[in-house]
Amino acid sequence: MMKSLVENALGDDWNKLPVALKAHYGRDELHETGHMDIEFPRLMQVYLNVLRLFGALLNRRGKQIPVTVDKYVIHQQQHWNRAFVFPDESIIRFQSVLVSAGGNQLIEFVNSFLGLQMSVYATDGMVRYAGVRYVVKIGKWLLPVPESLVLGHTSIEEWASDEHHFMMDFRLVHPLFGQLFRYSGVFKVDSSNLSVS
């Protein structure tokens, strides 16, 4: 049976993950619901407004914002569709496509040409991502862009709070300007994926 991208990237360490994270990253389609906090310095507002035009990140702050996540796989590419519903009932959609970059590395593309390359690890029952570089896709070529020239270093941590929920923390920290963006929250795992081995 075909493995998921994250299962392939983690290798034997996949077996160390708790049930909720295996369900979240399993082979099957999923639908999850959760709540997230979104924070960034006011000076980032204009920059994030521009990035939003390219489908990247979010340009609104908020606490306990309801979120839905849908994942499906087409030709070894994981498509992630996220919808954030703000108190004024406006919806921001954040979509991305995850592909393998070989070994334990993945690239998450926010559109057809902009992506973030990351290494993924499983330690202490958690899934951890560490940014490697940004990439610009031109045809079959990937042009590397150092993290420090854009938003800084990416780190993501995800851990299970029980068999049906997991928590996540995504941060962008620049070596000169400090933390430029963070979103974090808790999600309920699609129960139909809990049978993932």
Query: Residue 168 has which token pair?
Result: 């996540």
**Per-residue pLDDT tens digits for 84-141:** 999 999 999 999 999 999 999 999 999 999 999 999 999 999 999 999 999 999 999 9
Q: Is the pTM of this model over 0.85?
A: yes
Cα–Cα distance, 36 to 164 (Å, whole number) = 17
Q: What does the alpha-carbon distance between residue 12 and residue 36 come to, in Å, rounded to a whole number?
A: 31
C-alpha to C-alpha distances, 106 to 51, 120, 130, 189, nearest whole angstrom: 21, 7, 10, 22
Residue 27 pLDDT level (bands cut at 50, 70, 90): confident
Chain center to CA of 110? 10
**For 5-193, which CATH class?**
mainly beta
Q: Which helix (H) or strand (E) holds 5?
A: helix 5-10
Radius of gyration of the CA atoms of the chain, in A:
16
- Taking the mean position of all CA atoms in its chain, how far away is CA 128? 11
Confidence at residue 2, expressed as pLDDT on a 0 to 100 scale? 76
Write out pLDDT tens, residues 30-45.
999 999 999 999 999 9
Tell me the average pLDDT of the chain. 94
